[in-house]
Homo-oligomer: A and B are copies of this chain.
Amino acid sequence: MVLANNWFTEASKESGVAFSLHLHDKVHEEKTPYQTIAVYKTQTFGYLMTIDGLVMLTSRDNFLYHEMLSHPAIFSHPAPKHVLIIGGGDCGTLRECLRHRELVSVEQVEIDERVTRLAERYFPELTEANDDPRASLHFVDGIRWIEEATEARYDLIIVDSTDPVGPAKGLFTEAFYRHCQRCLGEQGILVQQSESPLLHLSLIAQMRAAMTAAGFSFVRTLQFPQPVYPSGWWSATLAGKGNELTSCREQALQQCTFPLQYYNVDIHHASFALPNFVRQYFAQQTTKED
């Protein structure tokens, strides 16, 4: 069957898969200095934001990505206070971070202010914490920001970016990770969205190798479902300066009262369980490098 025009489709020739959402209508489109942003109203997934034709988020299922990009790293740090988010213009990750009372500051550095302005309009539930006095939003280049940031300034750096093409390309390099490593405190953790375990395994392995080369003492990849991204299966990769992640602040997590739709203690541990084919691929890559 061929879909009618009232479906949004993201197709990747390289991976040979496409995902579509049934639309009500397009409610906004604009070309910014960085990219083309569009917003659609869908039939069943609320609003959909796309950048350069790629799905960024929908109202219905963004909770998966935003919770899994923030909470596992925050609860893995023994005493997080200062957080930097690079990208994250829709502010969903920022909102999740600000739920943690123990955080003192959360700086967000998004290159394209229009992403945030459109999120305020179409995803107001994600930007509801933007006025929190602990939050500061900067609309500048994240790579330059990290190059100029002072040493050991952050406990957590969250890279909530688009795919490694266009403006986000420089966020997937050893040079960038070196700056992150320098700007993180003693037990600091970097966490970055790392694409699909099925479709982009070599990219994940490259990221892990670059993070290790940049001086991080451990690297861990976690996985979660994300229906609107290619393959419906997504990952985030954590790199840390302290001891290997073996636990999280489980008691704090058990007792936390803020709303979590996906994440909980069991999901925390479960998300780090990797399939055999992923383990084997990572092991082969590590052997090749030795």
Interface size range of chain A in the complex: 35 or more
Residue of B nearest to A4 (CB): B2
Please, which residue of chain B has its CB at the minimum distance from the CB of A274? B266
A166 within 8 A of B: no
Report the stretch among A135-143, A180-188, A225-233 that lies at the interface: A225-233
Minimal Cβ-Cβ distance residue in B for A223: B225
Question: Interface with B: A8-16, A108-116, A155-163, A237-245, which one?
Answer: A8-16
Copies in the complex: 2
- With the chains together, A227 CA to B228 CA distance in Å? 11
Contacts of A133 in B (CB 8 A): none
Is A247 located at the chain interface by the 8 A CB criterion? no
Q: Contacts of A262 on B, CB cut-off 8 Å?
A: 275-277
**What 4 additional pairs, Cβ within 8 angstroms, besides A1-B53, A9-B18, A232-B232?**
A15-B44, A17-B44, A225-B225, A270-B273
Contact flags (1/0) for A1-35 with B, using CB distance below 8 Å?
A: 11101010101010111111110000000000000
Given A2-B2, A11-B1, A61-B198: A19 and B22 interface contact (C-beta under 8 Å): no
